[in-house]
Amino acid sequence: MILQNILSDTVLWLVGLNKGIAGFLLGFFWSILVMFGLHWAVIPFFAIDVAHYGYDVINPLIFAGGLAVLGSAIGVAIRARDERVKSMSVAAAISAFFGINEPALYGVLIPRKKVLLTSFLAAGIGGAIAGFSGSKLYSFGASGILGLPCFINPKGIDAGFIGLCISGIVAFVFALIAALIAGAKKDAKSKPAERHLAEHSDVYAPVAGESFDLTTVHDDVFSKLVLGDGIAVKPSDGKVYAPVTGIVRVAYPTGHAVGLASDDGEEVLIHIGIDTVNLEGKHFKMHVAQGMRVKKGDLLVDFDEAAISAAGYDTTVMMVVTKSERLKSVMPTQFGPVTKDTKVLDVELQSNSVESVTAVATND
């Protein structure tokens, strides 16, 4: 609270002093504030200013940051030689296009420090251009590029809107070129390291409760093992933990499902409740984003079991090891009371060597 109060006062002081300087500093540091949750000290000003003055001058200062992240993600995708790094960067770029920057930030930029820094710099330059142009936000709508109409003056397109467009283009181009240059030398030299994946893997319960046979759940996709074999748990609390150590491959914004790629080589899907996607994220809180690395036992999702049940939904948590060429067998090992430290699945895998994405990301 102390940090947020200081930050709020600082932002208001900078905006009053010089919008161009404020734009550079806020644009540069915005993603860092997001990492630590301190951006919420600034966000309320957007709505307050629009309600009071009819427009906001702070939000345009961070608009270019999303375009900078997009440019960086595309640059990494172009340079990447590993197909999995390339596909992850493309997916992160698509999310960034629609205003969701966390997958690119955590999965693409943070492992590549030079690219991360140039993305921040591009966002700062774009923010400065928007500030000097007097860009304003007049209404709220979609995020990312699709939200561009929200910055058009009700009286018509003005210099502020044109400046905002220029800020986004400059940030995108600068970040794209910088990503190509910053990673070019090491990308060209780095060779993906080989690692031998395990032939056996232990998978632990994702939630405390009472585990039972997956084939008895009231969902044909899971009960008929369409996606793969696994286990079901009637939860006793609303916390879902990582059952393996690995990478978050899928993190639905609605919070109802998470997919993990284990270090041992298997893919695990956790689905919270039946048909709970219809809640559109209500009663769920996601603690991870696509591309993040997690350890077994790390908190993935909070959900309000009582509220979901009251809404008429089955809260059964289903976990499956999805079908793949490496998968030989999945054997449930525990029916009954379980905690996050209870082994519930014994997974047998084919033995082979793969190129390590982790090695490439570290070299970049």
Assess whether pLDDT exceeds 90 at residue 23. Answer: no
Confidence of residue 159 (pLDDT cuts 50, 70, 90): very high
Evaluate if residue 355 carries a pLDDT over 80. Answer: no
pLDDT score, position 198: 63
Contacts of 2 by beta carbon, 8 Å cutoff, 6+ apart? none
CB-CB contact of 199 with 242 (8 Å): no
Q: Given this model, what pLDDT does residue 352 score? A: 57
pLDDT digits (tens, 9 = 90+) for 294-313: 999 999 999 999 999 999 99
d(Cα 24, Cα 4) in Å, to the nearest integer? 19
Q: Indicate if the pLDDT at residue 364 is higher than 70.
A: no
Tell me what the pLDDT averaged over the chain comes to: 85
pLDDT in tens, 146-158: 889 999 999 999 9
Phi, psi (degrees; rounded to nearest 5) at 311: -80, 0
Q: What is the pLDDT of residues 109-132, one digit of tens each?
A: 888 888 999 999 999 999 899 989
Question: Residue 119, SS3?
Answer: helix
The pLDDT assigned to 86 comes to: 86
Catalytic one of 256, 271, 283, 287: 271
Which of the two residues, 44 and 355, has the higher pLDDT score?
A: 44
Phi/psi class of residue 281: alpha, beta or left (left: φ > 0; alpha: ψ in -120 to 50)? left
Q: What is the pLDDT of residue 88?
A: 87
Q: Is the pLDDT of residue 183 over 80?
A: no
Q: Indicate if 256 belongs to the active site.
A: no
Per-residue pLDDT reduced to its tens digit, 208-258 = 999 999 999 999 889 888 888 999 999 999 999 999 999 998 888 889 999
CA-CA distance, 75 to 90, in Å (whole number)?
10
CA distance 220 to 218: 7
Question: 3-class secondary structure for 249-275?
Answer: EEECCCCCEEEEEECCCCEEEEEECCC
Residue of higher predicted confidence among 195 and 128 = 128
